[in-house]
Structure 1
Amino acid sequence: MGKTLFVGIDIGSDTNVVRILDDTGKDVCGFNVSNDLPGAERLVERIVAEA
Structure 2
Amino acid sequence: MKIFLVLLLVTSISDIEEGRKKLSNSEDIKKTLKGFEEGNGWGIV
TM-score bracket for this pair, using the shorter chain length = 0.3 to 0.5
- Bigger Rg over Cα: 2
Normalised to the residue count of structure 2, the TM-score between the two structures is 0.34
Between Structure 1 and Structure 2, the one with more helix by share is 2
The answer to which structure, 1 or 2, has the higher relative contact order (CA under 8 A, 6+ apart) is: 1
Between Structure 1 and Structure 2, the one with more strand by share is 1
